Amino acid sequence: MIGRAKYANVLGVNVSAINMSRAVAVAMQWICANRPGYVCLTGVHGVMEAQRDPTLLKILNDSVMNLPDGMPMSWVGRLQGFVSMDRVFGPDFMLEICSLSQTHGYRHFLYGGQPGVAEELKQSLEMKYPGIKIVGTCTPPFRSLTPAEEEDVIAQIHSSSPHIVWVGLSTPKQERFMAQYVDRLQVPLLIGVGAAFDYHTGRIRDCSPWIKRAGLQWLHRLLQDPRRLWRRYLRNNPEFLGKVILQQLKLVLSSKTAINH
Q: Which pTM does this prediction carry?
A: 0.90
**Has residue 237 been placed in a domain?**
no
**Has residue 152 been placed in a domain?**
yes
Report the C-alpha gap between 225 and 221 in whole angstroms. Answer: 6
Q: Is the dihedral of CA 76, 59, 47, 209 positive or negative?
A: positive
**Has residue 223 been placed in a domain?**
no
CATH code where residue 60 lies: 3.40.50
pLDDT tens track of the chain, all 261 residues? 454 559 999 999 999 999 999 999 999 999 999 999 999 999 999 999 999 999 999 999 999 999 999 999 999 999 999 999 999 999 999 999 999 999 999 999 999 998 999 999 999 999 999 999 999 999 998 888 899 999 999 999 999 999 999 999 989 999 999 999 999 999 999 999 989 999 999 888 887 887 878 788 877 787 888 888 778 888 889 999 999 999 988 876 665 655 565
Give me the count of residues in the chain.
261
Question: Strands (DSSP E) along the chain, which ranges?
Answer: 7-10, 13-16, 38-42, 65-68, 107-112, 133-138, 164-168, 189-192
**Has residue 64 been placed in a domain?**
yes
CA 164 to chain centre: 13
Residue pair 194/93 in contact (Cβ under 8 Å)? The answer is no
The three-class DSSP label of residue 13 is strand
Domain total in the chain: 1
**Has residue 204 been placed in a domain?**
yes
Closest residue by Cα to residue 56 from 89, 11, 99: 11
**Has residue 154 been placed in a domain?**
yes
Domain membership of residue 35 as a residue range: 7-213
**Has residue 114 been placed in a domain?**
yes
Residue pair 79/248 in contact (Cβ under 8 Å)? The answer is yes
**Has residue 17 been placed in a domain?**
yes
12 conformational bin, left if phi > 0, alpha if psi -120 to 50, beta if neither: left
Please tell me what DSSP assigns to residue 12.
T
